[in-house]
A and B are shown apart, each in its own frame.
Chain A
Amino acid sequence: MRYVGKPVRRVEDPKLITGRGSFVDDIQIPGTYYVAFVRSKYPHARISVKPSQNVFTGSQINPGKDFPIPSNEVTYAGQPIAAVIARDRYEAYDLLESVEVEYEQLPYETDPFRAMEDKVKVYSKAESNIYAKKEFFGGEAKKELEQSPIVLSGELHNQRIIASPMETRGTLAWFDGNRLNVWSSTQSAHYLRRNLVSFLGIQNIRVIQPDVGGAFGSKIITHPEEYAVSFLALKLGIPLKWIPTRTEEMLSAGHGRDKWLRYKVGVKRDGTITAVVGTVVGNLGAPYRDANDDDSGNVMSAARMLPGPYRIKHGFVAAYSVNTNLTPTTSYRGAGRPEATYFIESIIEEIAEELKLDPLEVRLRNVIRPEEMPYTNVFGITYDSGNYPELLNSAKSYYEQLKAEAKDNQCVGLAMYVEITAFGPWETARVYAKYDGRIVVVTGTGPHGQGDATAFAQLAADALEISMDLVEVRWGDTDVIEDGIGTWGSRTVTIGGSAVIMASQELRKRLTEAGAKALEADVEEVEYREGKVVHKKTGKSLELAEIIKSAYKLGISLDVTSVYPVKKPTSPYGVHMALMEIDRETGLISVKKYIAVDDVGNVINPLLAEGQIHGGALQGISQALYEEAVINDGTLQNPTFGDYALPTAVETPRFTWKYLTNGLSPHPTGSKGIGEAGTVVGTPVISNAISSCLKKKFSTMPILLEKVLGDQ
């Protein structure tokens, strides 16, 4: 281990701190025209758009269909319904005002429970508003519940929030006479390419993911506008660029969470949970398939992760993904697991309150024992490794310390999580040596801020026993690697990194072979060490640069691509806690300190892993205290950063991060994902702290000032 495990500084930083990044709106192609979209004012309506030059509707883009661009029927306010094309964006937005849309308003439904009754059709051509329904069960939940001395029941809502990356979506598409080139602010070039190939029916498409200013799940799917812009660029043969305004972005993309749990939980007097029975309902918004497929999976995750890190042997949960006339929901950092964690951790807090037990003690009594690992929860999710009681015990000292520190107006809260990360089905890495001695790593993933390139350089440099300075990491161009999956599901370092290790090891093998040949020896007679090939007997050696030159001359390819197949996801876990101050006169809450104790397996780069915890936990805190998509009359009421409250540095606590490594993953990196962990657990940490302080149960968020005072 030379680099892995060390807090190596980001190789991505130099260009970004000198303004030399290249995000999609920095890219210029001569003769580019600009696209803007007319958006629906109403949640549900039949539309007719008056045709005119430079205005393109669903009838041209996807005739007869209402997705991605509606031909006849809009199903959410903010839905793009026609594209206009102009020489610059000022002109494009002038032109938008001249587009005439006739609306015939239709009844709409935004409440998922009412929508499930199918009285009002969200979309006239859909058979039902219920997009998916599944039941997960194990043991004898109903019987256990009846026999439990204590049964708690209630309803929790994990509210709709908006991802709000600082860079919005955006696309530049250009048909160069031969192929369609598409630059997009996306989480994966390869995945976007596959979707465009299937939508446009042509193969010759190159997709480039340039620098991306964050996504948090909102840029996984292919958005209606991306399909439309690519279609129009192909049809018109001119380069087209589309960058939405922030308001458009907030109206139409990045909506996540919005899931409900109605539950009954059986508990013994000692605090152990006997059974959980519940219904999870996810409000998917409008029936846009790309989004629904994404978030319906998250609804199922929310249901199946409901038991959390606890030994709950009896469970039944019915999960419903329901369409309504709201913006389609998509993954948002955590993608279903934050909802599950919020649900179960709120219930644990309720148990602690009910039985007058310490919340940490309640967890200790319920967590899965190390000897039970790997453990398959009652809904079929397997947690692969770790020691939950030990982590709880490690967290305890910080917890006690915070409690001792807390003044009268301060409270301490905590929450625990177990996560599923590092999803498959596979990932690619290409590692090759340039004739001049540089080692190039290309990943099939699509980092967009997480700093995985630094981790990949560490992994490759260690595998090849060379200096990181010799390694360059590239990604985000469908032309430079055969294929890829992408960056989401906290999978990149673990799955992408395992592919990098495989390819680096294969390159190392080839370097050894080339070195042996150049030394006129058999492979068995030489040894690869510190980037050199050494003859074991004679001691003669070749430096890396010499081996590479020889390989080229000998006709040995030093270009390796590996595909790493994924058998199972892996489960990190941890306990986070916060010290907060409550102003009991105004209801203002400030989070003073936040301590995270995580076990994410092997930590490749603690500096960057900690950065992910800070960012993730702050988003979790923000969901508990600030963020909410406020919907009225079927329309988002707060589509600006003036009204949609993202936290500033002033609202950000001091973070402390500690990690244990009791649970390594089975992957070559030994790592587990951490990208989403902070967001998964941060929210219940805060809501639990407030609940315990105020001795009051909160079932919705954000916990606004007036709710703290008990007025609402």
Chain B
Amino acid sequence: MYPPKFGYVIPDSVDEANEFLEKHEDAKALAGGHSLIPMLKLRILRPSYLVELKGLNDLHFIKKEEGKIRIGALTTHYEIVKANLPLLSEAGATVADPQVRNMGTIGGVISHLDPAADYPASLIAMDAVVRIKGTRGEREEPFKDFAKDMFSPDLNPGELVKEVIIPDFKGYSFSYKKLERRAGDYAIVGVAVLLKKETGVVKDVRIGLTAVNNKAVRASEAEKVLLDRSPDEKLIEEAAEKAMSYANPTSDIRGSAEYKKKMTKVMTKRALQDALTR
């Protein structure tokens, strides 16, 4: 309930935030605060400083450009839901509860990398790119490389996620299916699907899984089953079966590993059916 003592910094610019974070390796950047503050309250983390990002407007935007969408790191779940972005808005609507969505940010989610978070299933499916800013400039990493392991983003001391870039997926249909026991929970299993059909034939399909591995994965063999085919129930079943082999879940309070593996198939099937009928 009570965080340990820490210092608090309000930088005037992203540069200043980068510099401070680089100099103080155990300082933590504070965005929406809905993962960091709970950890502080449980004293799981004991940073020397919190660096307040709120107010750094350079990190707070959604820009739709030719063929892609750039989402500033400080964009909240609520703003993502309202922006009508392919797949991501639908995933955003399932994150936690309304109060959390008012505060939590996409930059925070991917810098934290809870293995049961909702966005990563979509981001991996979308081949999202993460733009990172440090004191020595900016770099871009594909999301699949950025997410090195659970709770382990590819961020060096001083670096911050600046934006997440996704293609606009014009003409795609999509679906995010989240299995949860209660509204507001983390996913037991989450499956994101994006696909493009031309005259009944699947021209592109992307399936992302969350909560069943250390980090989100693409179920590529499942995608191959559907590519250039006109999916029927049997084919969907086959794809869902393949998706299941990408799940390597752990048993915990949300369910046994075996159950979660089975649910990967069920939720994949449902996401595919949903996306195909949209």
Contacts and interface: CB of A to CB of B under 8 A. Distances in A.
Interface of A: 89-90, 93-94, 245-247, 585-588, 626, 630, 637-638, 643, 645-651, 704-706, 709, 711-712
Nearest to B5: A94
B200 interface: no
A704 B256 CA distance: 11
A586 B182 contact: no
B4 interface: yes
A639 B194 CA distance: 38
Interface string B1-24: 110110000000000000000000
Nearest to B259: A706
B259 A705 contact: yes
16 contacts: A89-B1, A89-B2, A93-B1, A93-B2, A94-B2, A94-B4, A94-B5, A245-B1, A586-B267, A626-B181, A637-B253, A645-B181, A705-B181, A706-B256, A706-B258, A706-B259
B179 interface: yes
Interface string B234-278: 000000000000000000010110110011001100000000000
A586 B266 contact: yes
A247 B42 CA distance: 10
Query: Which of A93, A626, A712 has the most CB atoms of chain B within a 10 A radius of its CB?
Result: A93
A247 to B, nearest CB: 8
Contacts of A90: 2
Interface residues of B, number: 20
A90 B185 CA distance: 29
- Nearest 7 interchain pairs by C-beta: A650-B183, A245-B1, A706-B259, A93-B2, A585-B266, A648-B183, A90-B2
B29 to A, nearest CB: 23
Given A94-B5, A585-B266, A586-B263, A645 B255 contact: no
A99 to B, nearest CB: 15
Contact of B1 (A246, A585, A630): A246
Nearest to A585: B266
A711 B1 contact: no
B179 A586 contact: yes
B253 A643 contact: yes
B55 interface: no
Contacts of B181: 588, 626, 645, 705
Interface in B61-76: none
A706 B188 CA distance: 12
Contact of B253 (A93, A638, A706, A711): A638
User: For the complex, would chain B's binding face be called helix, strand, loop or mixed by DSSP majority?
Assistant: loop
Contacts of B255: 704-706
B182 A648 contact: yes
Contact of B259 (A89, A247, A709): A709
Contacts of A648: 182-184
Interface of B: 1-2, 4-5, 179, 181-185, 188, 253, 255-256, 258-259, 262-263, 266-267
A496 to B, nearest CB: 36
Contacts of A585: 266
Contacts of B182: 626, 645-648, 650-651
Contact of A711 (B5, B259, B266, B267): B259
Query: Which of A245, A649, A706 has the most CB atoms of chain B within a 10 A radius of its CB?
Result: A706
Query: Which of B2, B5, B183 has the most CB atoms of chain A within a 10 A radius of its CB?
Result: B2
A712 B5 CA distance: 45
Contacts of A645: 181-182, 185
Contacts of A649: 183
Contacts of A630: 253
Nearest to B267: A586
Contacts of B5: 94
Query: Which of B179, B182, B258 has the most CB atoms of chain A within a 10 A radius of its CB?
Result: B182
Nearest to A243: B1
Nearest to A704: B255
A485 B255 CA distance: 44
A78 to B, nearest CB: 15
Given A94-B2, A711-B262, 18 more contacts: A89-B1, A90-B2, A93-B1, A247-B1, A585-B266, A586-B266, A586-B267, A587-B259, A588-B179, A626-B182, A637-B253, A645-B181, A645-B182, A646-B182, A648-B182, A648-B184, A649-B183, A706-B255
B51 to A, nearest CB: 21
Nearest to B38: A642
A647 B184 CA distance: 10
B40 to A, nearest CB: 12
Contacts of A637: 253
A246 to B, nearest CB: 7
Contacts of B253: 630, 637-638, 643
Nearest to A587: B259
B8 to A, nearest CB: 14
Contacts of B183: 648-651
Nearest to B1: A245
Nearest to A646: B182
Given A585-B266, A648-B184, A651-B183, A712 B256 contact: yes
Nearest to B253: A643
Given A90-B2, A93-B1, A245-B1, A711 B184 contact: no
A587 B185 CA distance: 17
A626 to B, nearest CB: 7
A247 B2 CA distance: 12
A94 B2 CA distance: 8
Nearest to A622: B182
A346 B178 CA distance: 33
Nearest to B186: A642
Nearest to A88: B2
Nearest to B256: A706
B64 to A, nearest CB: 33
Nearest to B4: A94
B112 to A, nearest CB: 15
A637 B253 CA distance: 9
B247 to A, nearest CB: 15
Query: Which of A94, A638, A649 has the most CB atoms of chain B within a 10 A radius of its CB?
Result: A94
A626 B263 CA distance: 19
Contacts of B184: 648
A278 to B, nearest CB: 32
A678 B211 CA distance: 36
Nearest to B184: A648
Contacts of A704: 255
Nearest to B254: A643
A709 B258 CA distance: 12
A131 to B, nearest CB: 30
Nearest to B258: A711
A649 B4 CA distance: 34
Contacts of A587: 259
Nearest to B269: A585
Contacts of B256: 706, 711-712
Nearest to A649: B183
Query: Which of A245, A587, A712 has the most CB atoms of chain B within a 10 A radius of its CB?
Result: A587
A405 B7 CA distance: 61
Contacts of A712: 256
Nearest to B265: A585
Contacts of A89: 1-2
Contacts of B258: 706, 711
A546 to B, nearest CB: 55
Nearest to A711: B259
Nearest to A707: B259
Nearest to B183: A650
Nearest to A92: B2
Query: Which of A585, A643, A648 has the most CB atoms of chain B within a 10 A radius of its CB?
Result: A585
A275 to B, nearest CB: 39
B81 to A, nearest CB: 17
A245 B43 CA distance: 13
A241 B230 CA distance: 69
A542 B263 CA distance: 77
A457 to B, nearest CB: 36
A700 B164 CA distance: 47
Contacts of A646: 182
B94 to A, nearest CB: 12
